[in-house]
Structure 1
Amino acid sequence: MTAEQLASAAAPATTPGRPPATPLDPDHDPYPWLEEVEGAEALDWVRERNAHAHATVGAAAGFAATEAAVREVLDSDARIPEVSRIGEHLYNFWRDAEHERGLWRRTTLAEYRTDAPAWETVLDLDALAAAEGQSWVWHGATLLRPTPEQLAAGEPWRRALVDLSPGGSDADVTREFDLVAKRFVPAAEGGFERDTARADGRTGAKGGLAWADEDTVYVFTDFGAGTTTPSGYPRTVRLWRRGTPLADAVVVYEGADDDMYISARRSRTPGFERDLVSRSIAFYRSETFLVEGVGTPGQRLVKIEVPESAEVGFHREWLLVELRDDWTPDGSTARDGDQERTYAAGSLLAAPADDFLAGRRDLTVLFAPTASTSLVGAAWTRHHLVLNILDDVKNRLHVLTPPVDATAGTAWQRADLPVGDDLVTVGARAVDPLDSDDVWLTTTGYLTPSTLALATVGGPDGEADREDASVAPEVLKTAPAFFDATGMVVDQHFATSDDGTRVPYFVVGREELVRPADPTTPGTAPTLLYGYGGFEIPLLPGYSGTVGRAWLADGGVHVVANIRGGGEYGPAWHQAALRSRRHRAYEDFAAVARDLVARGITSPPHLGAQGGSNGGLLAGNMLTQYPELFGAVVIQVPLLDMKRYSHLLAGASWTAEYGDPDSDDWEFVRTFSPYHLLDAGRDYPPVLLTTSTKDDRVHPGHARKMAALLLATGKDVTSYENVEGGHGGAANNAQAAHMAALAWTFLRERLA
């Protein structure tokens, strides 16, 4: 089917509601009925739009082949099974063609080293879903570590808390699981179960359970009226003892009515046991409390005195503080004088925990940002701290070793952990921070298939006085190349945004397309520009067999923009696009689009924009504010109606990011609300909108209403709503492949 035929097939269907004003009047929404997630009229409309998507994009040449190619990647047995070490076993959750819902399984390290490990099934989700008539989606598991005495006596790891979601929603249930017997422990036998039946008839609630000891858990969930926040998250945390009714769980902490999320956990490191309550006030504001005498009449909460914007963490005798804002602690002094010391936003600080709790503020700076560097991760091993640093969006790993005596005031030792190629991402994850200095090292790049290695940091005996900060990594698994990258290259460029800021981006594709011989000739390469730009989340290089097969191998160019709002340059990069400064993220993305054209890589008719969730808001603003730059736009699980977003599902938790539309903030929020910026008299590129009925984080009403508005104004719009999948959009590999094929086929047809 040609692009012209697709455009004809996309002619507006009959959509109830009056034609909108130009632009839309925020006080007169024509489509509120589309916010009724399970409403009969709304679902009839969804089915009509899905049928249209299947009759057009789904019937286009190449759709079936693309879907099959993507599905083959997702189901491939050659993928690297990501594992976590639990006692003697390595655990993995795995989905493939035979196990659509997935298997929770385990093996040993010796087996994992082989080409074909023998896996033992612990829990079969497909069998469970069939037996219970519920479309369970795996949400993870937390295991209770046996005490040193139990381990010494040979007792196995037995107790787990398994989280399961109906259909992929954020709301889920938790059940206790016996790892030895490989069965759930029923409530009749004293097993812990969090299985809330909600007022709307759905199963589950947002929240969870966390182990305190083998007979006690922390529970934070929906206990009824007044126990959840405006975002639908738990407002209380309670201590629940085995064998007692959930209703009798003792309240440990109760947040304010307008808080975001309350939770608790227990650190069970022998000799450093701590009970911690976390109070999320807003998305970038929180408090952490140490709980003394938890659950007793003498219970006492001790607040960790750091800025609300900071994040704190404990490891044995150490306290770490990561700053989002500059901080001058009371009582802190520079080492060379009496003047109070200010620590820069983006810094990572360390202090002996007991000293800090006693009021002393002698902090060690473990990392301080520069104009080009930021901290993106920190992982403790038993004796060391591995820092993951970005330098112009390129990885650097450093191993820090604290002094043996935390109170001695001696310096931390530092060494580098070699990364290799600048244009790959290397992640370090501790194997077991309680008793091991081993780390899992994952390496991946746009054209570099992923590898998983095992390394010991600090040398063979934890020593740190070496330039090479690790024993040579042992490569355990290497993923296959899912597409032929011969002749392809990766380049990093910088575009200049409207205010002069340099914005990095990566370009991937065939060399003759990415590096055209004559940049002055308008480029015709089908090019997809992807971005996110929010919540301090960086976009880093990574291998995708799906992108390779569905786009790069077919002559497409893939571009990833590291725009403001993300975390590529730390908190300042994120804060530069917060709230009233949101427009900076969109200006950055538009600047990258123009730079691609200036380099001769592509031209507007052949350039597409794509984003999901917050990135869907980005893509929606590209559609409505910069339509002349793009030939097609894909908007996935998006926010789009920024007048209503804070009233829909978890939206109230994001006002720190976007602003409060029910206040004077609407004056700037309206400037990036695509639903209200759409102009019936303006031309727009073709658009594909996708969402999920089960998405209980970003309301499907955003995508539904935007599609309806585009239809009513005669625009070229295709929309598709998956019935499962939650915010991820798909509950299994088949659904994921179908959704991906819709997007890739749409882009190929419109941009080629």
Structure 2
Amino acid sequence: MKKKLIIIAVFIKSCIIVAQEDKYQWLEEVDSKKSLEFVESLNKKTEEILTKQTNYQALYNNILTVVNSKERIVYPTIYGEYVYNFWQDKDHVRGIWRRMKKADYIANKTQWEIILDIDKLSEKDNIKWVFKGVSGLYPNYSRFLVNLSNGGGDAVVVKEFDATKKEFIDNGFYVPESKTSIAYLDENTVIIGTNFGEGSLTTSGYPKIVKLWKRGTAITEAKTIFTGKDTDVYNSGYVIHEENKSYFIISNSDTFFTKKTFLYWNNKLLELKIPNDADISGILKNQLIILLKSDWTINNKTFKQGSIVSVGFNELIENKFSIKNIYTPTASSSVSGISTTKSMLIFNILNNVKGELYKGVYQNHKWINTKLNAPDFGTISIVATDDTCEDFYFNFQNFLEPTTLYLSNATNNSIQKIKALPSFFPSDKYKVEQFKVASKDGEMIPYFVVSSKNMTLNGTNPTLLYGYGGFENPELPFYSAGMGISWLENGGVYVLANIRGGSEFGPRWHQAGLKEKRQNIYNDFTAIAEDLIAKKITSPKNLGIMGGSNGGLLVGVAFTQRPDLYNAVVCQVPLLDMQRYSKLLAGASWIGEYGNPDIPEEWEYIKKYSPYHNLKDNTKYPEVFFMTSTRDDRVHPGHARKMAAKMIDMGYPIFYYENTEGGHGGSSTNEQRAKFNALYYSYLWMKLKN
């Protein structure tokens, strides 16, 4: 009996230890009074110091001037005969949704027709609405499903809008706040995945069930088309249009990177037998365009990882395969984007992290590719295509050339400059260099350095190293007026890391940092930091690092693993507690990237880098600046809050700023964006300037 009591006592004690293991877990209660008092206290201390820096007001004013500038590029989205655009400035703080005829846009006319004023709507509803995009009714786009977020989070309210009358439709489709997927099937039917009630969401908080909802009926009467598993990441339905045909597709994402794809055909679901890690990029000339993430061997032929291929859609439905290769990458190239015009494929390629633009024409049962005469030595992104003709828009930018929007025609290969940003800083004073350094395992990791042409290699240059390293997101050269006037013009050096985890060199670059291979990413980042110091571009005293979201995790790992390398850390909307990340908000959806901390074997490798669990006593850490948003419903603000609280209790000084709205982007209005940026630039100059 005594032995049994001892066992029970030990069990109770172990439960108490587990319950007390994370004494900062109360900070995960987003809107609790205690949590918000903690946030308000740290915000106040941070603002008192940083807003009193001698350069803060100038930084704020300059950044606000840039983001409010009338000279910004008006980016197009094409719906039918109109170009639509969402715009924010000092007169439209929350923004206006507007349109003009396509010909008027090309002619650079400035008279826009305002469709929806978000400032007026916010005032009327007494809600801080944030515009989160629309889904239109094909092909005339007289109606739209408008997504509105209360405060900037991913969860949205969906309201149906009449673009002709410029008003929301009484008794139209309406969906309460949720992480909703919705699209028109036809004028009176929508494909919807949302919170239908208990059991309708995945453990990641996204739709588990896809339904067809008829106009004039209650959402409870919607017809269920597909039901996934609780452990799925996301399930959704959408329509691919090709000329006079429409295809209703169901995507069943069981992990962040894998999915089954179904065609809803003759009131039945038909699974398309394509690789579950491949991405569908449209249908053209009855060819299903597919981007491969792994080798695909079929009919005794192997199509390489990272290739673009096509499959005859009619044959695919019948489980017959006639696969055609469109593009095969080299060791130094990867596919960055794929779009379609009325009859042509447009794709852009990264070649050693520099953009190239191609078109593909399907003739005589094969693809013929032509490289287009786009600008060189920068980043190309396809902005908008028009499925009624061969026109498409693309963007070009690099670190020193102002961003420029071009209109091209895929038939005659013409290129017309539509709009370019003004030069907000004198770029002729600066140079861009690309270097490579060997990571710990020998892989050569490229990075860009933007600096003054007169930079002295004496180890004293204030240097900001930026990275992300995850989820197949490449870090590409970009033009930033804010970075130019706030950092370069004051003597700073900017460094962009092309570490593994992104897709700079295709799927292999991403897969080299998944799960148990995660440390490769952090070793890459460390190697770049050490190389910058070895080249005497900077020194640990003058080196700062910055990253957001997964990049916030990156810099969190960087300063806990190698605190000796950095004197400033800007850690934005970060993941930091990698033991509980999968239990917070959308965290479960990222298990395919990081692994599952609830599985002991996987926690073994996760715990080795989890920043929250690797803080040590008596260590000289840099004075970290944590930045997040109360309304971030993707990466929980509890990560930043708990890390800050733990460091404070361990005696380490930190800075902390949490915006009360803004979602995962951190800010909702231009004023908030200017403040967010001015705060971290003030911090960086305070820490890194000689």
Q: TM-score, normalised by structure 1?
A: 0.87
Cα 1:233–1:559 shift into 2, 3 Å: same
Q: CA RMSD in A?
A: 1.5
From 365, 368, 384, give the equivalent of 1:413.
Answer: 368
Q: 1:138 aligns with which of 126, 131, 156?
A: 131
Q: Does the 8 Å CA contact 1:26/1:643 hold for their aligned counterparts?
A: no
Q: Is the 8 A contact 1:35 1:700 kept in 2?
A: yes
Residue of structure 1 equivalent to 2:627: 690
Aligned counterparts, 1:362-373, within 5 A = 362-373=322-333
Deviation by residue 1:660-700 (Cα, 9 ceiling, x = unmatched):
00002000000110000010221111110000000000000
Q: Is the 8 A contact 1:123 1:182 kept in 2?
A: yes
Q: Does 1:218 align with 2:218?
A: no
1:598 is aligned to 2:534: yes
Equivalent positions of 1:241-320 (< 5 A) are 241-293=214-266, 299-316=267-284, 317-320=286-289
Hey, what does 1:125 align to over in structure 2? 118
Question: What amino acid does structure 1 have at the position aligned with 2:512?
Answer: A
Say whether residues 1:238 and 2:211 are aligned partners: yes
Residue by residue over 1:581-606, the C-alpha shift from the partner in whole angstroms, topping out at 9 and shown as x without a partner, is: 11111110111111111222111100
Match of 2:83 in 1: 90
Partner amino acid for 1:397? Answer: L
Query: How far, CA to CA, are the matches of 1:311 and 1:86 in structure 2?
Result: 24
CA distance in 1, matches of 2:265, 2:679: 54
SS of the residue corresponding to residue 691 of structure 1 reads strand
Q: Which residue among 373, 388, 392 is the counterpart of 1:439?
A: 392
CA deviations over 1:76-113 (Å, ceiling 9, x no partner): 11000101122222110000011110000112334334
Q: Residues 320-719 of structure 1: matches in 2 within 5 Å?
A: 320-329=289-298, 332=299, 340-403=300-363, 410-422=365-377, 424-433=378-387, 435-459=388-412, 470-471=413-414, 473-513=415-455, 516=456, 519=457, 522-664=458-600, 665-719=602-656
In the TM superposition, residue 313 of structure 1 has moved relative to its aligned partner by 3.9
* Separation of aligned partners in 1, 2:380 and 2:613: 41
The Cα shift of 1:430 comes to 4.3
CA distance in 2, matches of 1:323, 1:668: 28
Percent identity reads: 41
The alpha-carbon deviation at position 271 of structure 1 amounts to 3.5
| Aligned-partner Cα distance in 1 for 2:165–2:138 | 17
Q: 1:727 to 1:282 in 2, by over 3 A?
A: same
Q: Tell me which residue corresponds to 2:170.
A: 186
Does structure 1 conserve the Cα–Cα contact (< 8 Å) formed by 2:263 and 2:269? yes
Q: Distance in 2 between matches of 1:600 and 1:392?
A: 25
Structure 1 counterpart of 2:374, one-letter code: V
Maintained 8 Å contact 1:26/1:676: no
Match for residue 686 of structure 2? 749
Offset of 1:411 from its aligned partner?
2.7
Over residues 703-749 of structure 1, what are the superposed CA-to-partner deviations in whole Å (9 max), with x where a residue is unaligned?
Answer: 00000111111112000100000000001111111111111000010
Q: 1:206 aligns with which of 179, 184, 190?
A: 179
Alpha-carbon distance between aligned partners in 2 of 1:341 and 1:572, rounded to the nearest angstrom: 20
How far 1:26 moved relative to its partner?
Answer: 10
**SS of match in other structure, 2:236:** strand
SS in 2 for 1:101: strand
Hey, what's the Cα distance between the residues in 2 that align with 1:634 and 1:625? Answer: 16
Letter in 1 for 2:614: L
For the residues of structure 2 that align with 1:687 and 1:487, how far apart are their CA atoms?
Answer: 31
Distance 1:650 1:633 in 2: 25
Q: Deviations over 1:390-441 (max 9, x none)?
A: 11101111211112x5xxxx4311211123332x1122344312x2111102
Q: Is the 8 A contact 2:282 2:340 kept in 1?
A: no
The C-alpha deviation readout for 1:21-40, integer Å capped at 9, x for no partner, is: xxx99971120110000011
Rounded to whole Å, the distance in 1 between the matches of 2:359 and 2:19 is 53
Change (3 A) 1:116 1:276: closer
Determine the structure 2 residue equivalent to 1:170: 154
CA deviation after TM superposition for structure 1 residue 361, in Å: 2.2
Whole-angstrom distance in 1 between the partners of 2:463 and 2:137: 48
- Contact 1:174/1:208, CA 8 A, preserved across alignment: no
Q: Give the secondary structure class of the aligned counterpart of 2:261.
A: strand
User: Retained in 1: the 8 A contact 2:193–2:236?
Assistant: yes
CA distance in 2, matches of 1:186, 1:751: 57
Shift of 1:312: 2.3
Q: Could you tell me how far apart the structure 2 residues matched to 1:266 and 1:632 are? A: 47
Q: Show structure 2 runs of 5+ residues with no match.
A: 1-16
The 8 Å contact of residues 384 and 401 in structure 1, kept in 2 or not, is answered as yes
Contact 2:76 2:383 in 1 (8 A): no
For normalisation by structure 2, the TM-score amounts to 0.95
| Counterpart-to-counterpart distance in 2, 1:234 and 1:87 | 30
Q: Contact 1:381/1:436 (CA < 8 Å) preserved in 2?
A: yes
Work out the CA distance in 1 between the residues paired with 2:199 and 2:512. 36
User: Cα deviations across residues 106-163 of structure 1 (Å, max 9, x unaligned)?
Assistant: 12334334555111110000000000000000100111123xxxxxxxxx64111100
- C-alpha separation in 1, matches of 2:384 and 2:369: 18
Cα distance between partner residues in 2 of 1:113 and 1:416: 24
Deviation at 1:623, TM superposition (A): 1.0
Provide closer, same or farther for how the CA distance between residues 25 and 240 of structure 1 changes in structure 2, counting only shifts above 3 A: closer
Residue of structure 2 in register with 1:9 after alignment: none
- 1:520-558 Cα distance to aligned partner (Å, 9 max, x none): xx4111000000000011011111111111111111011
CA distance change for structure 1 residues 314 and 475 in 2, over 3 Å: closer, same or farther?
closer
Which structure has greater strand proportion? Answer: 2
Q: Which residue of 2 aligns with 1:71?
A: 64
Work out the CA distance in 2 between the residues paired with 1:41 and 1:475: 54
Give, in whole Å, the separation in 2 of the partners of 1:263 and 1:57: 44
CA distance in 2, matches of 1:661, 1:523: 40
Decide whether the 8 Å contact of 2:607 with 2:613 is kept in 1.
yes
- State whether residues 108 and 418 of structure 2, in contact with CA within 8 Å, keep that contact through their aligned partners in structure 1: no
Q: Distance in 1 between matches of 2:514 and 2:318?
A: 36
* Aligned-partner SS, 1:601: coil
Listed one character per residue, the Cα deviations across residues 270-311 of structure 1 (whole Å, up to 9, x for unaligned) are 432211111111101101100023xxxxx2110010121112
Match of 2:14 in 1: none
**Aligned-partner Cα distance in 2 for 1:650–1:77:** 36
User: Whole-Å Cα distance in 2 between the matches of residues 607 and 25 of structure 1?
Assistant: 38
Q: Distance in 2 between matches of 1:696 and 1:437?
A: 39
User: Is the contact made by 2:355 and 2:376 (CA closer than 8 Å) also made in structure 1?
Assistant: no
Distance 1:348 1:113, change over 3 A: closer
